Amino acid sequence: MRKTIYLDNGATTMLDPKVVEAMRPCFTEQYGNASSTHEYGRDAKDLLERSRGTIAKTINASPDEILFTSGGTESNNLAIKGVAYANQKKGKHLITTKVEHKCVMESCRWLESQGFKVTYLDVDSEGFVSPEALERAITKETVLFSVIHGNNEIGTIQDLAALGMVCKKHNVLFHTDACQSYTKTALDVKKQHLDLVTLNAHKLHGPKGVGALYVRRGVAISPWQHGGGHEKGNRGGTENIPGIVGFAVAAKLAMDEKHRKQMTKLRDKLIDNVLKIPGVTLNGPRGERRLCNNANFSFAGVEGEAIGGLLDAKGVCSSTGSACSAHSLEPSYVLLAIGLTHEQANGSLRLTLSRFTTEEEIDSTVKVLPEIVEKLRRISPFGKLIDKVLSKV
């Protein structure tokens, strides 16, 4: 039986078996509601607070600064909308970039419909936003700057410390969406001057449906989900204890430096081999400024969707960008923002690794990929033209 090679870990990851084992008692033995005052409730509350402490430690925060949510989308919505409404007496201006995750973009667009003003910063050809551009965009009305830490499509890791210094200088709150970067690169809320940080579990071998929002002590946010005063009144709803326990265990396991080194090694091997195919370019930076598990390419003369379909037929799972946009026929706005043409963006393919990815799987992928690209170029009139051009280079 053929073993499927999963290279779509930017969309989601498998549950680590150790995480499954840690969660299991929460379904059958320690299943109480953390708000209940009896023994089962106290046990659940203890699991909740111990998990809160584990997550806080991984980003150099205090436990009381961690709010648990249903995932990255909710955390981003709570951070952006919550800060905007809680601080609108100061001003109604926010800043973000043109390469954010869709949930950030849509939150900002919704705020614009409510009378807020949003500035969308340009990025360079590798996806970086400059501190100078941020500083020029800040006005006396600016209350928040939000930027994705590790880009979900092209892997660009922003310099949070430099951007945070600008925000601190101008008394602007600083939020980062760290869903892709969390545990894959350094994240320290104090050294990077962060006021709010979005985290989630299912990108690091934890369960789906659970995330967290770091809110620096003293930062005012307005809750968007009202209920029984859970999470210190910031997010109503019974806490997902099994998910939270799994999240904490997954985060602790993922912090091991050996995992980052292994993913970086395989990422570079993948990139080096794929770039040997004529007419292929890498989208995003190389080296330590790129997420250790991310590779994004553009293939001249072929559609990324077609490559992904043939890879799937060969037992290799890939994507053409964010999973949230996978069914859209529009080219990636992230790739357009870094200067790619529509044709280059439509010819893109994202391959994302995990710590469970093996070298044999990378070898198999780089073996079948050139054959697929060559086949597609043979049957495409535009591909044939590209092949003629490349043969003369």
Element (H, E) at 384: helix 381-391
Question: Two tokens at 279?
Answer: 């007419």
The H or E element containing residue 348 is strand 348-352
Query: How many beta carbons lie within 10 A of that of residue 234, not counting itself?
Result: 19
Distance CA 178, CA 150 (A): 6
Q: Are 342 and 349 in contact (CB under 8 A)?
A: no
Is 108 among the catalytic positions?
no
CA 116 – CA 140 distance, rounded (Å):
14
User: How far from the centroid of its chain's Cα atoms is residue 65's Cα?
Assistant: 21
Alpha carbon distance 43, 26 (integer Å): 10
Q: Which of 103, 167, 317, 324 is catalytic?
A: 324
How far is 277 from 375, CA to CA, in rounded Å?
A: 13
Helices of type H across 59-130: 72-86, 102-113
Length of the chain: 393
- For residues 323 and 330, is the Cβ–Cβ distance under 8 A? no
Residue 2: count of CB within 10 angstroms of its CB? 6
Q: How far is 110 from 125, CA to CA, in rounded Å?
A: 28
Under DSSP, is residue 156 helix (H, G, I), strand (E, B) or coil?
strand
Q: How does 198-227 read in b/e, with b if 16+ C-beta sit within 10 Å?
A: bbbbbbbbbbbbbbbbbbbeebebebeeee
Indicate which residues carry an active-site annotation. 324
